[in-house]
C-alpha cells in the first residue's frame, strides 16, 4: 500500500475497518474462490459465467464491510465477489451460487452465476442489465427515507442503500436518471464505481472524455465524489465510511470512484490477450492489491508472518470445506423449473399515510422495501 511504515502505525483506522485479521482473511478467501471458479467451468460443473474480481479486492472489501447486514441495503454487480463475502455471504453460499445448486440462497440455482444475493441480510438480487440496479437502489432509498418508523424500517437505524458497478456501465442512461433522483430528494444512496479501465474490451478513453467517469455527474446538486486508489485498502475504507455518513445525513449524492486494476480477462467469455500486450499485463499483476496489502501488514507490524499464515490456513480450510460441499450439493429438481417465475397475485389497497404527510397531500409511491420484505421473503430459498 502507498503508505509509509510510520504513517501506518500512527494512523487511526476508520470505524468500518474490521481489524487486520478479518480484513486479510476476507481478501485471501475471496481470491481463493475467484481463482477456482474457472476450474469448475472447465470441469463442466457450473459457473457458466465468471467475471474475475482480482484487482478490485480492496474497494470491494471496504464496500462489503461498510454495509450493515440486515440494516442497510446492497445492490452489487456481477464482479462483486469479495463485496458479497464481506457483506455476509459465506464461501459455501458463493460456491453454491456459482454451481447453481438447489441450496443457492440467491435463487435456488435459478439465477445466473456471479449474481450474488441473500435477501435475509438485504443483499439484493439484480438483473443482467448492467447498472440498472442503481434505479432499484434509488427507489429503495426513497422508501427508506419516506417510510421511517414502519416495522421493517424502525427509527434510529438510518439505513443506507449501496449500488455498485463498473465505470463503463456509468455510460448507461439508468445511472443519470437514478443519480438525478437521488440529488433531487436527497436519498440515502451511495454509488460505488469500480474503474478497471475497460468495458469488456473497450478502453475507458472510448467511453468518456473524463479520466474519472464519476466526474460526469459532478454538476448534480449535492454531488460529492471521492476519487480513491482502489488498491489501497485503508483509503477505500476511509472513502466508504465518509460516503455512507454523507448519505445518512441526507446531504446529496455521494459517489465513490475507485481506480482498480483488471488482472484477468473481463470474463470467461473474453480473451484479454487479444487487446492487451504482455507489458500491460505485467503492470497489472504488479498492482495487485493483495500482495501490496500483505506487505503493508508485515512492514507496519500489524501482523507477523506467523499470524498471516494462520489466517491463510483458516481461509484455506473454509474454502476446502465449501468446495467439497458445493460439489456434493444437489441440483434443483427439474419439476420445480416453473416455480417463482411470476409473483403471486396481489390486491390494491389504500396504504397508511407516510409519517409527516399532511392530510390531502399526494401519497408517495408504494415502498420497494415493504414489497421486498412481504413478497420475496415468501420464496423458500430467500429464507436461508
Q: What is the pLDDT of residues 191-213, one digit of tens each?
A: 999 999 888 888 888 888 898 99
pLDDT of amino acid 274: 87
Tell me whether residue 346 is in a domain. no
Q: What gap in Å lies between CA 384 and CA 365, rounded to an integer?
A: 29
Asked if residues 130 and 163 have their Cβ atoms less than 8 Å apart, the reply is no
Confidence of residue 49 (pLDDT cuts 50, 70, 90): confident
Q: Is residue 375 part of a domain?
A: yes
Grid cell digits, residue 252: 446529496
Q: What CATH number did the domain enclosing 129 receive?
A: 3.40.50.970
d(CA 272, CA 51): 12
| Predicted local confidence at residue 332, as pLDDT | 93
Instruction: Specify the pLDDT at position 89.
Output: 97
Which is nearest to 46 in space by CA: 341, 334, 340, 331? Answer: 331
- Count of structural domains, the chain: 1
d(CA 240, CA 64): 10
Residue at 342 is within a domain:
no
Q: How confident is the model at residue 30 (pLDDT cuts 50, 70, 90)?
A: very high
Mean pLDDT of 272-290: 91
Sign of the CA dihedral running 353, 358, 361, 365: negative
In what side-by-side order are the strands of the sheet with 161-166? Answer: 73-75, 161-166, 189-195, 253-259, 223-229
Which one is predicted more confidently, 202 or 216?
A: 216
Has residue 301 got a pLDDT over 90?
yes
Q: Is the pLDDT of residue 158 over 70?
A: yes
* Position 347 in a domain: no
Residues spanned by the domain of 102: 5-337+352-383
Q: Mean pLDDT for the chain?
A: 88
The answer to whether residue 109 sits within a structural domain is: yes
Residue 291 lies in a domain: yes
Q: How far apart are CA 328 and CA 338, in angstroms?
A: 24
Task: Give the whole-angstrom CA distance, residue 329 versus residue 318.
Answer: 16
Instruction: Give the highest mean pLDDT range of 34-43, 234-243, 353-362.
Output: 234-243
Tell me if 43 is assigned to some domain.
yes
Residue 10 pLDDT grade (very low, low, confident, very high; cuts 50, 70, 90): very low
Whether 29 is in a domain gets the answer yes
Share of the chain above pLDDT 90, in %: 65
In the predicted structure, residue 256 carries a pLDDT above the cut 70: yes
Q: Which helix (H) or strand (E) holds 253?
A: strand 253-259
With a cut of 70, say whether residue 42 has pLDDT above it: yes
Amino acid at each position: 500500500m502507498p503508505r509509509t511504515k510510520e504513517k501506518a502505525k500512527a494512523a487511526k483506522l476508520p470505524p468500518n475497518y474490521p481489524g487486520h485479521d478479518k480484513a486479510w482473511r476476507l481478501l485471501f478467501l475471496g481470491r481463493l474462490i475467484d481463482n477456482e471458479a474457472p476450474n469448475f467451468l472447465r470441469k463442466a460443473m457450473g459457473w457458466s459465467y465468471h467475471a474475475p474480481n482480482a484487482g478490485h479486492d480492496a474497494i470491494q472489501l471496504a464496500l462489503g464491510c461498510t454495509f450493515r447486514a440486515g440494516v442497510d441495503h446492497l445492490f452489487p454487480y456481477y464482479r462483486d465477489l469479495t463485496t458479497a463475502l464481506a457483506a455476509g455471504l459465506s464461501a459455501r453460499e458463493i460456491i453454491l451460487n456459482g454451481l447453481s445448486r438447489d441450496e443457492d440462497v440467491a435463487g435456488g440455482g435459478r439465477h445466473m452465476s456471479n449474481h450474488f444475493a441473500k435477501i435475509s441480510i438485504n443483499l439484493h438480487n439484480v438483473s443482467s442489465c448492467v447498472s440498472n440496479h442503481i434505479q432499484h437502489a434509488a427507489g429503495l432509498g426513497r422508501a427508506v427515507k419516506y417510510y421511517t418508523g414502519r416495522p421493517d424500517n424502525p427509527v434510529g437505524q438510518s439505513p443506507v442503500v449501496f449500488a455498485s458497478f463498473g465505470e463503463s456501465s456509468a455510460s448507461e442512461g439508468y445511472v443519470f436518471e437514478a443519480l438525478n433522483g437521488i440529488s433531487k430528494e436527497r436519498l440515502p444512496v451511495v454509488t460505488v464505481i469500480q474503474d478497471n479501465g475497460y468495458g469488456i474490451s473497450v478502453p475507458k478513453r472510448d467511453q468518456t472524455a473524463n479520466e474519472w467517469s464519476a466526474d460526469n455527474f459532478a454538476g448534480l446538486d449535492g454531488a460529492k465524489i471521492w476519487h480513491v486508489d482502489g488498491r489501497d485498502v485503508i483509503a477505500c475504507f476511509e472513502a466508504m465510511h465518509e460516503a455512507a455518513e454523507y448519505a445518512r445525513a441526507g446531504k446529496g449524492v455521494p459517489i465513490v470512484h475507485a481506480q482498480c486494476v483488471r488482472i484477468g480477462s473481463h470474463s470467461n467469455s473474453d480473451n484479454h490477450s487479444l487487446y492487451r500486450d504482455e507489458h500491460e499485463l505485467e503492470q497489472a499483476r504488479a498492482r495487485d492489491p493483495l500482495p501490496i496489502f500483505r506487505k503493508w501488514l508485515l512492514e507496519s507490524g500489524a501482523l507477523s508472518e506467523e499470524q498471516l499464515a494462520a489466517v491463510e490456513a483458516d481461509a484455506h480450510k473454509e474454502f476446502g470445506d465449501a468446495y467439497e460441499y458445493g460439489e456434493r450439493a444437489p441440483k434443483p429438481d427439474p419439476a420445480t423449473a416453473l416455480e417463482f417465475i411470476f409473483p403471486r397475485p396481489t390486491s390494491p389497497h389504500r396504504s397508511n399515510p407516510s409519517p409527516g404527510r399532511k392530510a390531502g397531500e399526494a401519497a408517495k409511491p408504494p415502498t420497494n422495501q415493504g414489497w421486498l420484505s412481504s413478497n420475496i421473503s415468501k420464496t423458500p430459498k430467500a429464507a436461508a
